[in-house]
Every structure is written in C-alpha cells, then in structure tokens.
Amino acid sequence: MDLTALSGAVTIALASTIVFLLVIKSWALFVKSTTTTRFPESIMLEAAQRIRDKLTKMSHDQSVYLVSVLVFTVLFCIFYLIPPQGLFDDVPKWQLVAILVLLGIAAVILVYRLLQLVIAKRNLLFCRDASMATGHALQKITANQNRVFHDVPCDAGIIDNVVVGLHGIYTVSVIARQSGKNSRAILKDDRLTFGGKNAISVRRSAIKSEQLARELREVTGHEIRVRSVIAIPGWEIESQQSNEFLVVNERNLTMITGWKDPKEYLMNEDIEAIHGLLTKRCTRFG
C-alpha cells in the first residue's frame, strides 16, 4: 500500500469534509436567523413540542454526519485512485502516519456520536408518543370550559401540560416509562412505584405547581391553588394514597375534572387573566 497516496487522499478528503461541514452549519444558522412565520402570535405550542423539536434536531445532526461520511468516502476514493502528482512527496513519513492516526480518532468519535444519537432518539421517541397520547387525551375535557396549554414555562422549569377551567387549574406532568410484565403502579405520598420495585419521587411536579400558583397569583391578585396530576401512559394504577397528587393514565385522564373543591372555583375574569398570561408564554414564535 502506498502510504503517501493513502495519507494524501485522507488529507484532501478530510479537509474538504471539514469545509463541507462548515458550509452546512453556516447555511443552517443563516436559514434559522432569516426564517419567519406569517402568524407568530397565533401558533401555540403543541403536546410534546419540545421533545419533537429535539428529535428534529437529532435527525438533522444524524443526517449531517452521515452525509459527511459519504462526502469523505467519495473524495477519498477519487484522490486515492487518481492521486495529485508530487503534492505530498516531500512530506515526512511520521506526518503521514499522524494524519492516519488522526483519521482513526475522528472515526471513533464519529461512530460514538452516531450511537449516542441513535440511543437518544429511541428513548425520545417513546417519550414523545407518551406525551402526545396524554396531550390528545386532554383534548377530551376542553369541551367543559377547560383549556389546555402545553410545555408551559415557569421559574421552576417546564410543565408538560396545564389545564385551566372554571373548576380549577391542574398541571399534568408526564412520566414516560416502558411497562413490562407487571404494568401496575402505586402512589404513596410522593413516591410512585412502577412494577412493584422501581420507585421515584414526584415532588418535582409539586414544586412546579406551587411555583406556577405563585406566578398566577400576581395576575389574579389572590391565592390560586394548582393541583398536581401525574400521567403515566401505558400503566395501570393499582392504588394511590396521596392528598397532594393524582395519578392517571392516558385512558382515564378525564377523571381529573372530578378532583375539585367548590371553594377553589375561578371567576371569569380570573380565567381571562390566566389565559392571557399562559397564551403569551406558550406562543411558539412570539
């Protein structure tokens, strides 16, 4: 094998691929900065919007990596079969070897990054489907003077769904877990147990609800209670012992409307103020 021809082809192909990547990244940034929508204040965030955006970005990154590999392969084959005469004849042998080692390191990093993307996309696909199933199920209760907001930001983080109606306000946090043979879940206080062995705390959901309640108090002028609902799509709820949380799946989400207290009912002016605040926060392009 001709080391000079091999290393020379690698050098030219690698340099050209780097230039190609820079052009693609620059073009993507340019398109993103110049893209506008005709209705920036009328398009709202949809269910699992941030997860879908992540998947779109991952798919784009994966495509760029794969196309870069194709560009490198094509250029390498061309310049190895038709090497430029005399271009690398005076390059020391150790430099030629160093270039090949650099290529090997770059190849390992690329393969590792692609594997990371594949695994992350697989996990996110399940989270997306679970969140979309929950969001679509929530649409069933919008006929009862309720409105649903998705991916609602607050100072404590992003809330998956917020239901606002005359009978109260609910945050619906989605916990996406693959179910096995034992697909039953148990809630006791703030501990949610999946399949009889894997327990997690849902305290974070309560913190977000409390923070949202404080922020809504600023626009209504009085205390607002925000109830915390935990949605676990694909699971059956065996039992729940908690006054602070309600656990549901995508099939029985409508039962949250029965978790209410007449003392916490809202006035129409409260609803309008809350809708205005959350609409502003959940406008996608505003």
How does pLDDT run across 188-233, given as a tens digit for each residue? 999 999 988 889 999 999 999 999 999 999 999 999 999 999 999 9
For residues 38-74, one letter each, b for 16 or more C-beta atoms within 10 angstroms of the residue's C-beta and e for the rest, the string is eeeeeebbebbbebeebbeebeeeeeebeebeebbee
Q: Does the model's pTM come out above 0.75?
A: yes
Q: What is the model's pLDDT at position 41?
A: 83
Q: What is the model's pLDDT at position 56?
A: 94
> pLDDT band at residue 85, thresholds of 50, 70 and 90?
confident
Residue 86 token pair? 């005399």
Q: What are residue 150's phi and psi, to 5 degrees?
A: -115, 145
d(CA 145, CA 281): 20
Structure letter (DSSP) for residue 266: -
Per-residue pLDDT averaged across 174-183, rounded? Answer: 90
Q: Please state, for a pLDDT cut of 90, what percent of the chain lies above it.
A: 72
The DSSP H or E segment spanning 192 is strand 191-194
d(CA 239, CA 33): 50
Task: Give residue-wise pLDDT tens across range 267-276.
Answer: 999 999 999 9
